[in-house]
Amino acid sequence: MSLDRGGRVFGRVIGSAVGGMLGATLVACSRHATVSECTDLLDRYVELLVHEQDPRAPDTEIARQKSLTREKAEKDIAFASCPNEVSAKGARCAMSAASVDEFEKCLE
């Protein structure tokens, strides 16, 4: 199972969120997501992607994909900016999303 979409899309989503969320964050003066929350967002996004590709994916596959994605995220500039760019409100919305599309809309 390949999470190509996850590797590229999460970085793009976070990167796209930079502009939109930065403006919204400045207006709302809300707190930003923490490093821990950003990691939780990454894990949630991977879970949604895996389940989108294979609704019956075993927990071991989800764990494997999370591990691989975390390794990639450690080197991703867009992901590194998550704590400075993603609002706590956007993070809460994304964490409760039931689909990849809902998740991405929360971070637009």
Q: How far is CA 60 from the centre of its chain?
A: 20
Domain range for 62 = 4-106
Band of pLDDT at residue 10, cut at 50, 70 and 90: low
36 three-state secondary structure = helix
What is the spatial distance between Cα 70 and Cα 64, in angstroms, rounded to a whole number? 10
Domain count, the chain: 1
* Structural contact between residues 1 and 69, judged by C-beta atoms closer than 8 angstroms: no
Reported as a single tens digit per residue, the pLDDT across 60-100 is 999 999 999 999 999 998 889 999 999 999 999 999 999 99
DSSP assignment of 53-100 equals H-TT--HHHHHHHHHHHHHHHTT-HHHHTHHHHSBHHHHHHHHT-SSH
